[in-house]
Amino acid sequence: MQKLAIITAFSGGIGAGITEAFLKESDWHILGLARSAGKFTELNKNCTHLFSDLLNQREIPNLITKVKSHIQTIKPSEICFVHNFGQAKHANILNTEEADWDNLFWANVKLPFLFTKAFSPLMQNSQNASHLFIGSTLSEIAVPDSTAYIASKHAIAGLMKSVAIDLANMRIRANLICPGFTESEMADQVIKYTAESQNMTTEQLKQAFKEKSPLKRFLNPLEIGNLAVYLAKNPAINAETININGGFGLI
């Protein structure tokens, strides 16, 4: 029987790395949820793209129906739902707009909640089922000028723990990956904003961040993906928050 990985925002950044890692496993089928297939435009037989505007709340009920149909058709022996989609906003507590707060909590917390609630009853029929949430180094610490993002990433850590407890009797696991700086468009945006606020060039700031890691580099998305596949396959790992950041902050 086929295994199924459902990945939100599967076509770019960390999501693309996760997709690549699963595609290396010949017995996994990918169901990617995103506006575009990105570099996976030429999808192979093991990858299906469902057009999904995950910020459009009115589209979500119809999307849930389509994903449920896909699960019921494949009847996967193993299934992992990777909650990778997320949004970021640079603003402190005093200048965070309520609309921006709501948008980030929709993308980073409420959408994973809705998907977990909707699909878990179907996932329990597989031999190895899990939800894999993508957090951040900022799921456990805080920095200036990212109030809504930090609050939402702390919230996803709490959601993961609740899911691990509540769905244990359904034999569904939950884990949280917390990436550090990874070569991605989102990381570039963070560096650009922070560099401007500190009167530095982006290259100067990027090098400064690298110096805080024993590895002296950022991660690449495939490294995150390899960890995601390992967690999906290993039935003994549950309720864990796993930082993958090269030791960032140790120095």
CA 36/CA 33 separation, integer angstroms: 8
Residues in contact with 30: Cβ distance below 8 Å, sequence separation at least 6, in sequence order: 5, 7, 10, 19, 22, 23, 46, 47, 48
Backbone angles phi, psi at 59, to 5 degrees: -85, -15
Q: What is the pLDDT of residue 44?
A: 73
Domain assignments of the chain as residue spans, ordered by start = 3-180+221-244
Tell me which DSSP letter residue 183 carries: S
Tell me which DSSP letter residue 136 carries: -
The sheet carrying 78-83 orders its strands as: 47-51, 28-34, 3-8, 78-83, 128-134, 172-179, 241-244
Q: What is the pLDDT of residue 189?
A: 79
Q: What is the pLDDT of residue 41?
A: 72
Per-residue tokens: 121: 């009853």
Determine the length of the chain. Answer: 251
Q: Tell me the per-residue pLDDT of 15-26, one tens digit each, with 9 for 90 and over.
A: 999 999 999 998
CA 87/CA 161 separation, integer angstroms: 21
Exposure class string for 173-184: b at 16+ Cβ within 10 A, else e: bbbbbbbbbbbb
Residues in contact with 176: Cβ distance below 8 Å, sequence separation at least 6, in sequence order: 132, 133, 134, 135, 139, 156, 157, 160, 240, 241, 242
| CATH architecture observed for domain 3-180+221-244 | 3-Layer(aba) Sandwich (3.40)
Q: What is the pLDDT of residue 1?
A: 65
What is the identity of the amino acid at 71? I
For the chain, which ranges sit under pLDDT 50? none
Contact 113, 41 (CB under 8 A): no
Per-residue tokens: 148: 């809504």
Residues in contact with 11: Cβ distance below 8 Å, sequence separation at least 6, in sequence order: 19, 32, 34, 36, 37, 38, 39, 40, 49
